[in-house]
């Protein structure tokens, strides 16, 4: 599904921005350098058909009339990026009739394995390069709908894209539940017409719904701990946030997005807990034009100041707010909870990448409410690699990372067993996977079995359970971090951490996964055998060094620092 990277100006009145997306279909000939005779499925000489591979990009949002333009860099931050698995529907029309084979043709965004750089091509559901008839009118829409849902909602006699999709747009009804990324993007109808040029076909996508952006007050905490230390901490949102009759999608910057029918006046309301611990009700009427967004700042972006004693067992919410260990979360708080605080303190002195990337994460560590599914089959048990193995540490000490993500001089090993450096380990292992996928020898390549499996599931986990923007984001714990999940902070053995502190709290949140007597992988590699990684036996609390990377299947429980 498409990933949206937001930048929203700090304003309190509604602002509107026109959206123009550019979808470029590039021929397989240009992408791969193959001769025309080498193109798949092009053995015949039928000049009425052309073979296309598809690359999708976004032109970004532009400031509305009357708005102060952002800098060019800021504008580029507010873009839409299609990712693997997204589906569009394509039509070709000739002589007032839709062409057989290109009648709601489903095209799927697919990673371009040959490029090795994460670029996408668009293929049929069967994985084939699409064959599009030449000399036709072309129309596309997102997200793809099944044939029974699209039937009767397009007009082959239309002379333009708006007429072609008029009935689809008229009957499109955004869901009132847009709480997950899938549900949110599933309501975001876009349409386009195409103009061919040689073997290229360009679409300029238009959003046909209207977007409401809700900016709630932020919470500034004075956090105290058992030692009497006091530290400031600002969360992305307000406590006890509720929405009446609708569920928006929470972005990583703390704002909420909700799609509505354009030009309709829709009354939206909700509540939150203010600085005096009272319930603050809010309500506004949203009326936004198609392809634009309106931003509504609740109570002018008020800062709520609270004092909170931070301790293991506190509930951690998706907007970064906290609920005390002794509280019983309401249904709304359960829906907002993503983890439990299990360790209080500053680990940035042990993790150089965390200190560099997220220097404000000095308050504590949170363990997720859920085990992470494997990236390939959804099972919560997985091997450490895809079957091959080598010393990742040998690569790490001598490598130059890709994409300008430089490695600090004081981080050169993922074999360290006495530091809380899971964030750094995770970044390193992602870079290692990039390296493996870019090479071609045995065990390497896009499907190479030396790839490390758990880190490939973290992006999907973050999409399913978004972490606050001022946190580290979810990462794979080091063995030192993982042992305290099992033992409990201050202990050197046992199972008190998960059995007496975490599970009683996790059980209060519906839909979560309590810990059991399972094995859990760490992101720490063993130093004396290239096929070993550290894991913990949660049945008795033992730390084990002999986890074969290609053998046993253990679980992974992500953490975050805040």
Confidence of residue 83 (pLDDT cuts 50, 70, 90): confident
Cα–Cα distance, 373 to 555 (Å, whole number)? 8
What percentage of the chain exceeds 70 in pLDDT?
83
* Strongest mean pLDDT among 17-26, 59-68, 364-373: 364-373
Which pLDDT score, from 0 to 100, does residue 28 have? 30
Which pLDDT score, from 0 to 100, does residue 508 have? 97
Instruction: Look at the alpha carbons of 191, 194, 200, 204 in this order and tell me if their dihedral is positive or negative.
Output: negative
The mean pLDDT of 418-434, rounded to a whole number, is 95
* Strongest mean pLDDT among 11-25, 100-114, 199-213, 412-426: 412-426
Cα–Cα distance, 58 to 85 (Å, whole number)? 17
Rg (CA), the chain: 26
Which pLDDT score, from 0 to 100, does residue 8 have? 34
Query: Is the pLDDT at 2 greater than 60, yes or no?
Result: no
Which pLDDT score, from 0 to 100, does residue 56 have? 58
Confidence of residue 21 (pLDDT cuts 50, 70, 90): very low
Cα separations in angstroms, 54 against 47, 57, 98, 429, 513? 20, 10, 21, 30, 40
Which pLDDT score, from 0 to 100, does residue 489 have? 97
The mean pLDDT of 143-162, rounded to a whole number, is 95
Domain 209-306 has CATH 2.60.40.3570: yes
Contact present, 53 and 200 (Cβ < 8 Å): no
Which pLDDT score, from 0 to 100, does residue 494 have? 97
Which pLDDT score, from 0 to 100, does residue 48 have? 53
The mean pLDDT of 104-132, rounded to a whole number, is 79
Confidence of residue 20 (pLDDT cuts 50, 70, 90): very low
Phi and psi (nearest 5°) for 499?
A: -80, -40
Which pLDDT score, from 0 to 100, does residue 13 have? 31
Query: Is the pLDDT at 534 greater than 80, yes or no?
Result: yes
Query: Is the pLDDT at 88 greater than 90, yes or no?
Result: yes
pTM above 0.85, yes or no: no
| Sheet of strand 21-26, all strands in order from the earlier edge strand to the far edge | 53-56, 21-26, 200-207, 190-197, 137-142, 87-94, 97-111, 120-124
Contact present, 525 and 533 (Cβ < 8 Å): yes
Confidence of residue 236 (pLDDT cuts 50, 70, 90): confident
Cα–Cα distance, 428 to 357 (Å, whole number)? 14
The mean pLDDT of 106-135, rounded to a whole number, is 79
Q: Looking at the chain, which residues constitute the CATH 2.60.40.3570 domain(s)?
A: 209-306
Of the candidate ranges 250-254, 325-329, 343-347, the one whose mean pLDDT is the lowest: 250-254
Neighbours of 261 (CB within 10 A): 17
Is 152 buried (19+), middle (13-18) or exposed (0-12) by CB count in 10 A?
exposed
Is residue 143 reached through a cis peptide bond, with omega within 30 degrees of 0 on the bond before it?
A: yes
**Strands 364-368 and 559-561: what pairing?**
antiparallel
Contact present, 491 and 447 (Cβ < 8 Å): no
Cα separations in angstroms, 12 against 211, 252, 387? 16, 19, 54
Which pLDDT score, from 0 to 100, does residue 206 have? 86
Interval 475-504: pLDDT, tens = 999 999 999 999 999 999 999 999 999 999
Query: Is the pLDDT at 26 greater than 60, yes or no?
Result: no
Query: Is the pLDDT at 65 greater than 70, yes or no?
Result: no
The mean pLDDT of 15-26, rounded to a whole number, is 32
Confidence of residue 79 (pLDDT cuts 50, 70, 90): low
The mean pLDDT of 1-21, rounded to a whole number, is 37
Confidence of residue 40 (pLDDT cuts 50, 70, 90): very low
Query: Is the pLDDT at 200 greater than 80, yes or no?
Result: no
Query: Is the pLDDT at 353 greater than 50, yes or no?
Result: yes
Which pLDDT score, from 0 to 100, does residue 77 have? 46
Cα–Cα distance, 254 to 468 (Å, whole number)? 7
Which residues fall within 8 angstroms of residue 494, CB to CB, at 6 or more apart?
486, 487, 488, 541
Cα–Cα distance, 528 to 250 (Å, whole number)? 45
The mean pLDDT of 179-197, rounded to a whole number, is 87
Which pLDDT score, from 0 to 100, does residue 10 have? 34
Which pLDDT score, from 0 to 100, does residue 477 have? 98
Averaged confidence pLDDT in the chain: 84
Which pLDDT score, from 0 to 100, does residue 91 have? 95
Confidence of residue 51 (pLDDT cuts 50, 70, 90): low
């Amino acid at each position: 599904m498409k990933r949206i990277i937001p930048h929203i100006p700090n304003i309190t009145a509604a602002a509107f921005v026109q959206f123009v997306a550019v979808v470029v279909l590039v021929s397989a000939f240009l992408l791969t350098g193959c001769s025309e005779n080498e193109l798949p499925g092009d053995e015949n000489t039928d000049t009425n058909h052309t073979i296309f591979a598809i690359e999708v990009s976004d032109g970004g949002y532009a400031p509305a009339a009357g708005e102060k333009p952002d800098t060019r860099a800021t504008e580029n931050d507010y873009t839409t990026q299609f990712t693997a698995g997204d589906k569009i529907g394509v039509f070709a029309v000739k002589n007032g009739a839709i062409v057989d084979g290109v009648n709601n043709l489903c095209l799927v965004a697919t990673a371009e394995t040959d490029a090795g750089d994460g670029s996408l091509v668009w293929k049929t559901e069967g994985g084939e390069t699409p064959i599009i008839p030449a000399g036709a009118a072309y129309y596309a829409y997102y997200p793809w709908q099944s044939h029974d849902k699209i039937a009767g909602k397009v007009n082959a006699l239309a002379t333009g894209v708006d007429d072609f999709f008029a009935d689809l747009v008229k009957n499109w009804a955004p869901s009132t539940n847009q709480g997950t990324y899938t549900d949110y993007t599933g309501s975001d109808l876009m349409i386009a017409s195409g103009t061919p040029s040689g073997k290229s076909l360009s679409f300029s996508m238009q959003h046909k719904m209207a977007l409401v952006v809700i900016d709630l007050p932020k919470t500034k905490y004075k956090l105290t701990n058992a030692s009497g230390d006091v530290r400031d901490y600002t969360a992305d949102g307000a406590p006890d946030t509720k929405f009446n009759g609708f569920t928006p999608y929470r972005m990583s910057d703390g704002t909420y997005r909700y799609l509505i029918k354009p030009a309709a006046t829709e009354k939206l309301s909700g509540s939150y807990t203010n600085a005096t611990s009272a319930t603050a009700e809010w309500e506004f009427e949203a009326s936004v034009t198609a392809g634009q967004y309106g931003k509504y700042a609740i109570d002018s972006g008020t800062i709520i100041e609270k004092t909170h004693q931070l301790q293991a067992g506190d509930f951690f919410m998706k907007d970064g707010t906290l609920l005390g260990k002794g509280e019983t979360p309401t249904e709304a708080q359960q829906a907002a909870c993503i983890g439990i605080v299990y360790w209080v303190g500053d680990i940035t002195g042990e993790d150089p990448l965390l200190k560099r990337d997220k220097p404000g994460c000095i308050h504590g560590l949170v363990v997720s409410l859920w085990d992470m599914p494997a990236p390939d089959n959804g099972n919560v048990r997985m091997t450490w690699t895809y079957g091959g193995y080598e010393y990742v540490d040998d690569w790490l000490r001598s490598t130059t990372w890709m994409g300008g993500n430089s490695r600090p001089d004081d981080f050169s090993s993922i074999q360290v067993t006495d530091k809380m450096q899971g964030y750094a380990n995770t970044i390193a292992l992602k870079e290692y996977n990039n390296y493996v996928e870019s090479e071609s020898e045995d065990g390497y390549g896009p499907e190479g079995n030396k790839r490390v499996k758990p880190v490939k599931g973290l992006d999907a986990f973050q999409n399913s359970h978004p972490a606050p923007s001022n946190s580290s984001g979810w990462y794979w714990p080091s063995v030192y971090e993982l042992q305290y999940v099992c033992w409990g902070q201050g202990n050197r053995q046992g199972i008190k951490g998960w059995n007496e502190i975490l599970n009683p709290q996790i059980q209060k949140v519906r839909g979560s996964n309590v810990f059991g007597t399972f094995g859990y992988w760490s992101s720490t590699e063993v130093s004396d055998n290239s096929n070993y990684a550290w894991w913990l036996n949660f049945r008795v609390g033992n730390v084990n060094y002999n986890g074969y990377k290609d053998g046993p299947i253990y679980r992974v429980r992500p953490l975050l620092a805040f």
